[in-house]
Amino acid sequence: MFSISLVLGIVGQLFIGTLLAFFSIFAGAGLHNGRELTRLQSLILDNAMWVLPGTSLAVLVFFVYHAATGGPQPSLWWHLLPVLAGGAYLAYAAKL
């Protein structure tokens, strides 16, 4: 049975994933247009467009799997994983 905390977590992860997708796309495009980047820097910025929303999706699947199989409820600290990934991307992009 799905609890209200699981439903709110799913909605929150979808919201965070969407924000991270927009953030990575527009920040990466702005950095590509503004300066000359090395091949590695360009590769990191391009892949962040898929990895950042993917972390949110991975956490969402993790929580739904545990709820569907009747396993123990995982710690709610897992919801911070996409936020930490976004913070790491922000730190990397600001350093460029």
Please report which confidence band the pLDDT of residue 50 belongs to, taking 50, 70 and 90 as the band edges: very high
Distance from C-alpha of 25 to C-alpha of 30, rounded to nearest angstrom: 9
Average the pLDDT over 24-49 and give the result.
94
Of the candidates 20, 16, 21, 43, the one whose C-alpha atom is nearest the C-alpha of residue 31 is 43
The pTM for the full model equals 0.88
Distance from C-alpha of 32 to C-alpha of 38, rounded to nearest angstrom: 10
pLDDT digits (tens, 9 = 90+) for 7-32: 999 999 999 999 999 999 999 999 99
pLDDT digits (tens, 9 = 90+) for 51-84: 999 999 999 999 999 988 988 888 889 999 999 9
Tokens of 8: 């709110």
- Residue 24, judged by CB atoms within 10 A of its CB (0-12, 13-18, 19+), counts as buried
Are the CB atoms for 64 and 2 separated by under 8 Å? Answer: no
Residue listed under structure tokens 């953030």:
23
Are the CB atoms for 52 and 25 separated by under 8 Å? Answer: no
Flag whether pLDDT at 1 surpasses 70. Answer: no
Are the CB atoms for 59 and 79 separated by under 8 Å? Answer: yes
